[in-house]
Amino acid sequence: MLQLSRYPFHTLKTVPQTSDNRSTGLLLQAGFVRQEMAGAYIYLHLGLRVLENIKRIVREELDAIGCSEILMTSFGTREHWETTGRWDTMDNLFKVEGASGKYYALNPTHEEIVTPLMQEFIQSYKNLDNCAVYQFQTKFRNEARAKSGILRGREFLMKDLYSFHRNSEDLDIFFEEVRKAYVRIYERLGLGESTRYVFASGWAFSKYSYEFQTDLGIGEDDVYVCSKCGQAHNEEIIDPTGFVCVECTSKEHFIVQASEVGNIFKLGTRFSNAFGLGYTDAEGKKQEVVMGCYGIGVSRLMGVIAEKFMDEKGLVWPENVAPFSYYMIVIGDHLEEAKKLAKKLESEGATVLIDDRNTGFGAKAGDTDLLGIPYRIVLSDKTLAQGGYEFKGRKESESRIVIL
């Protein structure tokens, strides 16, 4: 349990006027994040807890389909980036100079690291049963316009998964498993109903790639939705002559603003061939390894959820991602009772923040709403005289007494 009397990150009285959307202001005011510079954010304790909750859900769903978590380096050698030709062609690549004039890349993505890494472990077809590795990693992109707070950073947290297969049929099967895992992830994050599966442009290997786009007024992307069958399309694949649905060929459509929260991509042999990653099949013949890659914007998701659910009083976190499930307000000399109750709730799987600061009820209740914690508990002389504590949901206006 966290006691606010021993916590350094206090809230602000008013929304700071530093950002271009309200949820970023609320995240600053409520003490979830601080901006270090344009496009780079520090996650304070509450913000980190939200990120960790998002990561937990992603991790559980990927582990359930047999993926293995690793942690790669956040910078990579110039040689690896030159091998794929992206040292010169990727326009947002951060390049840093090391000792003795050698250059490195701050990785914006990790194909250049994971492919040579897996070369040691993939030799035969036997090594390619469900070969999929992922990480949660800080990515660096020299974005021309870092804006919208944590929605688009120059430094941000991504989950990236890479899969390795004997052929494109195996990739197709695994790809579909990942797609379903993504659907479960967005559902558990509270975004199931507002997240669309969107056709986007692919590479030579496959006609399309696929994005997960959450409907959001401040989202950067225009998503074209077919009025007839509901299939969504990214702007890149809309023909200059006008919209034609790739599923049902209807021309009727509407456009929604959305934010890209993930994407899945068939890479084919682009990276395996660049690094010479192959395998020997059952007949002893050399074959090409076929790859897929799958991203989720973990820190962007925190911003999307904040923006999507906030109300006039402050942030509103879905239970699965909230930094704490209970905000416990203590009025008067009842800290010991509060701690006892918190321990009981924690033993049932809840997480509890105790507001034992030396301030009045109004300030505490205001912060409960600002922080967006799902449930508020009040322990005071008054509630104890009634035999318990007061309980209220963040979205409810009525409270009730729960008997202890």
Burial of 208 (0-12, 13-18, 19+ CB in 10 A): middle
| Nearest-approach distance from CB 261 to ligand ATP, in angstroms | 5
The footprint of Mg ion on this chain (CB under 5 A) covers a number of residues equal to 1
Nearer to Mg ion by C-beta: 3 or 259?
A: 259
Interface residue list for ligand ATP (CB under 6 A): 109, 141, 143, 152-153, 156, 158, 260-263, 295, 297, 299-300
Classify 74 as helix, strand or coil. Answer: coil
Q: Which is nearer to ligand ATP, 87 or 326 (CB)?
A: 87
Q: Which is nearer to ligand ATP, 3 or 19 (CB)?
A: 19
If the CB atoms of residues 77 and 109 are measured against ligand ATP, the closer one turns out to be 109
Least distance in angstroms from the C-beta of 240 to ligand ATP: 20
Closer to Mg ion by CB, 221 or 356: give it: 221
Beta carbon of residue 104, minimum distance to ligand ATP (angstroms, whole number):
20
Nearer to ligand ATP by C-beta: 303 or 314?
Answer: 303
CB of 216 to ligand ATP, least distance (A): 12
State the binding partner of 199 from Mg ion, ligand ATP, none, CB within 5 to 8 A by kind. none
Q: Which of Mg ion, ligand ATP, none is residue 226 near (CB under 5 to 8 Å by kind)? A: none
d(CA 109, CA 269): 17
* Residue 25 identity: G
Residues with Cβ < 8 Å from 64, sequence gap 6 or more? 181
Please state the separation of Cα 296 from the chain's center in Å.
Answer: 6
Partner from ligand ATP, Mg ion, none binding residue 215, C-beta < 5-8 Å depending on class: none
The C-alpha R_g of the chain, in whole angstroms, comes to: 24
Query: Is 216 or 342 the residue whose CB approaches ligand ATP more closely?
Result: 216
Smallest distance, ligand ATP to C-beta of residue 109, A: 6
DSSP state of 19: S
Residue 295 contact, options ligand ATP, Mg ion, none, Cβ 5-8 Å cut-off depending on partner type: ligand ATP
Residue 110 backbone phi and psi in degrees, to 5: -125, 20
Cβ proximity to Mg ion, 260 vs 355, nearer residue:
260
Distances (CA, A) of 80 to 52, 220, 275, 290: 31, 32, 8, 19
Which tokens hold the place of 94?
């951060």
Q: Give the closest residue to 108 by CA, choosing from 87, 88, 94.
A: 94
**Cα–Cα nearest to 32, from 12, 48, 53, 16:** 48
Q: How far is the CB of 23 from ligand ATP (least distance, A)?
A: 14
Q: How far is the CB of 200 from Mg ion (least distance, A)?
A: 7
- Tokens, residue 185: 């992830």
Choose from Mg ion, ligand ATP, none: what does 77 bind? Cβ within 5-8 Å by kind. none
Burial 265-287 (b: 16+ CB within 10 A, else e): bbbbbbbbebbebbbeeeeeeeb
Sheet strands side by side (includes 103-106): 75-77, 103-106, 94-97
Binds 110: which of ligand ATP, Mg ion, none (CB < 5-8 Å by kind): none
- 289 and 245 Cβ atoms separated by less than 8 Å: no
* Residue 156 interacts with which of Mg ion, ligand ATP, none, CB < 5 to 8 Å by class: ligand ATP
Residue nearer to Mg ion on the CB measure, 111 or 260 = 260
Cα separation values, 79 from 87, 118, 337, Å: 8, 17, 61
Scan residues 241-280 and list those touching Mg ion (CB under 5 A): 260
Cβ-proximal residue to Mg ion, closest one: 260
- Residue 245 CB, nearest distance to ligand ATP (Å)? 22
Residues in contact with Mg ion by CB under 5 A are 260
